[in-house]
Copies of this chain bind each other. A is one copy, B any other.
Amino acid sequence: MVLKDLPRPRQHQPLTYALEDQVGHLLRRAHQRHAAIFLEGIGPAALTPMQWAALVTLVREGRASQNRLGRLTAMDPATIQGVVRRLRARGLITRSADPADRRASLLAPTGAGIALVEATLPAAIAISEATLAPLDPAERRIFLQLLQRMAFA
């Protein structure tokens, strides 16, 4: 109440908010840049970042329910649904009934899916490298550590 009536300390600063300096904007730009590097670097595999994430995770897990795969890759159920549909349409993963839970379906990579992951792994590693290229090794460690905390806090 009282504070509102006091004279403003900063007299009439038009806008102390520079969009280009906001974390959110910088995170978005960095993510954009990574997506562009990914698109360029993934080559003939022609996978999107999310398709790659889902596929490589499923190969590592062996099999998983759709929602679980979504949790492992940070996609909500509505989003993982479309990603799985497209991977299935390309014959990279299969779906079968879960004998232990009639709500769930079991996803598993096909031979083609596993082969594609193996063939694409070097490109994926190169993409992460290229994304971090602006930083030297010491900076990369620091950045990744801080980014990790920003992501999971």
Are A124 and B23 in touch, CB under 8 angstroms?
no
Q: Tell me which residues across on chain B come within 8 A of A60, comparing CB atoms.
A: 15
Q: Tell me which residues across on chain B come within 8 A of A27, comparing CB atoms.
A: 27, 30-31, 34, 147, 151
The yes or no answer to A4 lying at the interface (CB within 8 A) is: no
Q: Which residue of B lies closest to A121 (CB)?
A: B17
Are A59 and B144 in touch, CB under 8 angstroms?
no
Q: Tell me which residues across on chain B come within 8 A of A81, comparing CB atoms.
A: none
Are A56 and B17 in touch, CB under 8 angstroms?
yes
The yes or no answer to A132 lying at the interface (CB within 8 A) is: yes
Q: Tell me which residues across on chain B come within 8 A of A133, comparing CB atoms.
A: 153
Chain A interface residue count, CB cutoff 8 Å, equals 51
Are A24 and B127 in touch, CB under 8 angstroms?
yes
Residues 123-144 of chain A: 1 if any B CB is under 8 Å from the residue's CB, otherwise 0? 0110110011111000100111
Are A23 and B151 in touch, CB under 8 angstroms?
no
Q: Tell me which residues across on chain B come within 8 A of A33, comparing CB atoms.
A: 150-153
Are A151 and B53 in touch, CB under 8 angstroms?
no
Of B21, B28, B121, B153, the residue contacting A31 (CB under 8 A) is: B28
Give Cα distance in the complex from A49 to B19, angstroms: 11
Question: Could you list which residues of chain A lie within 8 angstroms of chain B, going by C-beta atoms?
Answer: 15-17, 19, 21-35, 38, 49, 53, 56-57, 59-60, 72-74, 121, 124-125, 127-128, 131-135, 139, 142-144, 146-153
List 7 interface pairs A-B (beta carbons < 8 Å), by A numbering.
A19-B72, A23-B34, A24-B35, A25-B53, A131-B150, A134-B150, A143-B143
